[in-house]
Amino acid sequence: MIERMTVIKNRAGIHARPAALIVQTASKFKSKISLQKGDDRINAKSIMGIITLGAGFDTEILIIADGEDEAEAAEAIDRLFKNRFEEV
């Protein structure tokens, strides 16, 4: 299992478009991938779960990946956050 802390840097936070990008990326991997904000942990392959997380700008998110391709999965999800979901 790999855990990696990241921070939301796009001003709008996680809304529908970033949530869809997370789900699309997470679904490419066999590993179980979760996102955690505080005590709330959701499945990164669930768009409704991601949206209900209610994560805004500058929120810390813990990425948790567990499975055969966990390192690649955690890196890919973290890259989305670092690239601000390709938003300006």
CA quadruple 56, 61, 67, 71: dihedral, nearest 10? 110
pLDDT at 88: 59
> pTM of the full predicted structure?
0.94
Tens-digit pLDDT profile for residues 49-84: 999 999 999 999 999 999 999 999 999 999 999 999
Pick the CATH number of 2-86 from 3.40.50.2300, 3.40.640.10, 3.40.50.150, 3.30.1340.10: 3.30.1340.10
pLDDT at 83: 95
Tens-digit pLDDT profile for residues 6-58: 999 999 999 999 999 999 999 999 999 999 999 999 999 999 999 999 999 99
**Domain parsing of the chain, residue ranges:** 2-86
Token pair 């802390």 is at which residue? 5
The one-letter code for the residue type at 41 is: R
Band (pLDDT 50/70/90 cuts) for residue 87 is confident
Write out the catalytic residue numbers: 15
Collapsed DSSP state (helix, strand, coil) of residue 25: helix
Say how far apart CA 26 and CA 21 lie, in whole Å.
8
Report the DSSP pairing between strands 60-66 and 32-37: antiparallel
Interacting residues of 17 by C-beta distance below 8 A, sequence separation 6+: 85, 87
